[in-house]
Homo-oligomer: A and B are copies of this chain.
Amino acid sequence: MAKPSLPPGTRDFSAEVVRKRNYLLNTIRSVFECYGFGPLETPAMEQLDTLMGKYGEEGDKLIFKILNNGLDNPDKEKQTRVALEQVLHGKNSKDLTERALRYDLTIPFARYVATWHQQLPLPFKRYQMQPVWRADRPQKGRYREFYQCDVDVVGSRSLLNELELGCICHTIFSQLQLPDYSLRINHRQLLVALAAQCGIEDQLTIITTAIDKLDKIGLEKVKEELAQKNVSGASIELITSYLQIEGPLATQLDQLRSLLGKQPQAITALEEIEQLIESLQEQEVRAVLDPTLARGLNYYTGTIFEIKAPPRVTMGSIGGGGRYDDLTGLFGVPGLPGVGLSFGVDRIYDVLEELQLFPPDSTQGTKVLFFNLGTAEMKTAFSQLQGLRAKGMAAELYPEPVKFDKQFKYAEKKNIPYIAIIGKEEMEQQKVNVKNIRSGEQRTLSWNDLQTISLNW
């Protein structure tokens, strides 16, 4: 029989990886909780209607749809035939598929809030850490099942929310030993003002799409793209000046005011940015104004964020987010503004791995393995073992009295740091031989010492 395989783009996660990922998720979770956010978990499946049309035409194609059960019911043959015919023309039919796997955490969150907004405490502060599924072509670093980790507050326009999201970011990366992250901030209304100043207010997307590529293709190519889209020479010059704004915050703000100060949106946006970044810096958050930050999504209407990995790794963005005016309008509940941040947990995991920042005890499983030397010895070892477990130490007894070599290899494979041996002699003397596998150091302890002294030598 052929060995079973996994679907392309999916992965098994071994004990070591799950433990490391739990360390990462638990760190993030505890900071979210500290800031008053509560967990939400939504089902893997949503109604197909809920998801379709929310992610653009390309997105729709990448949604995994679930086949209805009972399609072979003879009473339904006609409907099924019609449904099948529709599939050939790229259409989904309720007679074939009514459900799909969630594609992100934002739409399920919006669906939840739209359903329950009258019962929820407002502002509603939730975080959500769950896998999502996308039928993207699998490639290095891109999977069909991956975790997302979102934190949002809806129902409040206060800038305090932005300030707290920045503080959350800072606390998380400090706890993860990545204090040299950076939080880049811009404001969607500055880009709107820039378009207005160029006289192409109705073509904001041309500007944001081009600027979004700056990091990848460079300034000259951005200018070429704008020219191809019929943006005037004078406007391109203005956009170039905008993109070249640098220096400390006060200088950046001065230049932006002289460039865009005639646009009313710019005035408010600059006030908000100034207040926010100054407050963040008072809290020691590494926040900087980055006018070149655009973030493609049209969804955002106010502050926009991007979290960058430390320059010592080549990773780039490890998170982002922003303020939006209308989370739930798509589901018939208008007027609920909010702001959120999404952490790229897979990328942060890779950064921690590359910089070897997972604490050793985050991956520690069993701490000590008792060797099995036969029926009587095993009984003694078991009672010592249960004593250690009762105090919370992860410990094991090899289940069969096989050769030492085999038991030793088991300890090595499982990365168990200590082995404990109780033979005939040790039983008589009420002692135990304990060996640190890595250092080779060996100690003979009384049973009492074993139960009371911690294994950290």
Interface residues of A (CB under 8 A from B): 1-7, 10-15, 18-19, 22, 30, 33-36, 38-47, 49-50, 61-62, 64-67, 69-72, 77, 80-81, 84, 87-91, 96-99, 101, 111-112, 114-115, 120-123, 125-126, 131, 133, 135, 144-145, 153, 156-158, 160-161, 163, 167, 171, 283, 330-332, 365-366, 369, 378, 382, 386, 389, 392-397, 399-400, 409-410, 413-414
Contacts and interface: CB of A to CB of B under 8 A. Distances in A.
Majority secondary structure of chain A interface residues (helix, strand, loop or mixed):
mixed
10 contacts: A10-B45, A13-B39, A36-B365, A38-B414, A44-B131, A66-B101, A71-B87, A80-B87, A156-B399, A163-B382
A2 B114 CA distance: 11
B66 A64 contact: yes
A62 B69 contact: yes
Contacts of A12: 40-43, 112
Contacts of A80: 87-88
Closest 10 CB pairs of A and B: A15-B38, A72-B90, A36-B396, A10-B43, A158-B399, A121-B413, A1-B332, A84-B84, A18-B39, A13-B41
Contact of A115 (B4, B7, B45, B410): B4
Contacts of A70: 61
Given A10-B43, A14-B38, A71-B87, 11 more contacts: A3-B114, A12-B43, A18-B39, A18-B41, A30-B392, A36-B394, A44-B131, A77-B88, A120-B413, A158-B400, A160-B378
Given A6-B47, A14-B40, A145-B43, A34 B133 contact: no
A38 B7 contact: no
Q: Which of A34, A96, A125, A133 has the most CB of B within 10 A?
A: A34
A135 B30 CA distance: 35
